Amino acid sequence: MPERYVSVAEEPSYAPATPVVPNKFFDANFVESTLNPGLAFPVSIRGRSILEHHEGYLQEAVAVNMDVKPNNMIGWFLKWILGSVTSSQQGATVAYKHTFKSAETVRSFALGSNWDTIKEKRVPGCIMTGLNFSCVRGAIPLIADISAIGQTEKLETVQSPSWPSDALAPFKPYQSKVELADSELANLVEGFTINIGQRVFGVGDIGVLGSRKLPRIELAERTVGGSMDLPLLSGTLDVYQRFLKDTGAVEPGEPVVPFKLELLIDTGIVIADTYKYRLDFILPKCVISAGPPVRIERQERKMFRVDFRCEKDATAQTEIQVELTNKDTAYPDAT
């Protein structure tokens, strides 16, 4: 069986007339792209049978699931969902820290995936609608679920993939820690998710006369949230009290006080000097969005899940800040 791959490349403008060739290759657990041709099958007065169809507007649905590694394109996907990235060299070394924050605009990209040696299915004009991370106890590494809408598709010749020279392992749950208000919830958190979403106006919203394709990027609201799985112990009581109002609360009150959450992942693998491959999620202003259900059952463990939402912090000017340290020098805008 030939090598299967997923490939991406940023577009200099939305779905340009000269298509971008996706030439950054990475591995994934799965990739799925589905074209909706917008067909309609009208009913007429002639009889009960459908006699014809009408072509409508085109739109592609894209989904990718992958293990998150320091060098397998996760920096690009963070840029394409959040919009802003700055990169800084760490000392006089080959290590770079990339800081991703939310912005008002995002860039589009082209995506390719091959059907073995048959064809590469290429999707231009991809706009991300979601990037979800899951870090749970066990052998499963940090997982990213990526969703996007694409403009159309085209079957092309299969490429010969080139892979990153550094074979790095994915980020693992046991390399992570969670901090609440700058204090570690040590040996307490059993699962953590982060969900970044943005509403994108698709071809059903802004389809235009003269073309079946989405003409441009238009965005609506962005949402950032997630969840934590915790045992009900004295060390986690503070988390529940923050749902009620703030630390120390014994009943609901107002105003509910936002708090800072961080998921910090340190691989321990040195890039150079003291700089290591890292991925840090900083959520500066969170509130618990729904009452954590606490179920007491027989002699089972007492667990509860906290669902939280993130608001834009006035100081950080973002709902979420993600810091990725690796060897990539930058994630520049395509020109």
| Average pLDDT estimate for 214-233 | 96
User: Which residues are paired to 36 by β-bridges?
Assistant: 59
User: 202 CB contacts (<8 Å, ≥6 apart)?
Assistant: 59, 149, 214
Phi, psi of 3 (to 5 degrees): -65, 135
For residues 217 and 295, what is the distance between their CA atoms, to the nearest angstrom? 45
pLDDT digits (tens, 9 = 90+) for 165-215: 778 999 999 999 999 999 999 999 999 999 999 999 999 999 999 999 999
Angle, alpha carbons 222-228-231 (nearest 5°): 165
In the chain, the N- to C-terminal Cα span, in Å, equals 36
Write down the pLDDT at residue 292: 86
Contact of 72 with 157, CB cutoff 8 Å: no
The model's pTM is 0.95
For residues 6 and 25, what is the distance between their CA atoms, to the nearest angstrom? 6
Q: Parse the chain into domains and list their residue ranges.
A: 6-39+54-326
Closest by Cα among 194, 183, 173 to 235: 183
Using CB atoms within 10 Å of the CB of residue 139, give its burial: 0 to 12 exposed, 13 to 18 middle, 19+ buried.
Answer: exposed
pLDDT digits (tens, 9 = 90+) for 234-291: 889 999 999 999 999 999 999 999 999 999 999 999 999 999 999 999 999 999 998 8
Band of pLDDT at residue 293, cut at 50, 70 and 90: confident
Residues in the chain: 335
Contact of 133 with 171, CB cutoff 8 Å: no
Contact of 87 with 96, CB cutoff 8 Å: yes
pLDDT digits (tens, 9 = 90+) for 28-59: 999 999 999 999 999 999 999 999 999 999 99
Q: Residue 217's CB: how many other CB atoms inside 10 A?
A: 17
- 1: pLDDT strictly greater than 80: no
Sequence-ordered alpha helix ranges (H) in 48-127: 74-82
User: 249 CB contacts (<8 Å, ≥6 apart)?
Assistant: 241, 242
Structure tokens at 110: 């082209």
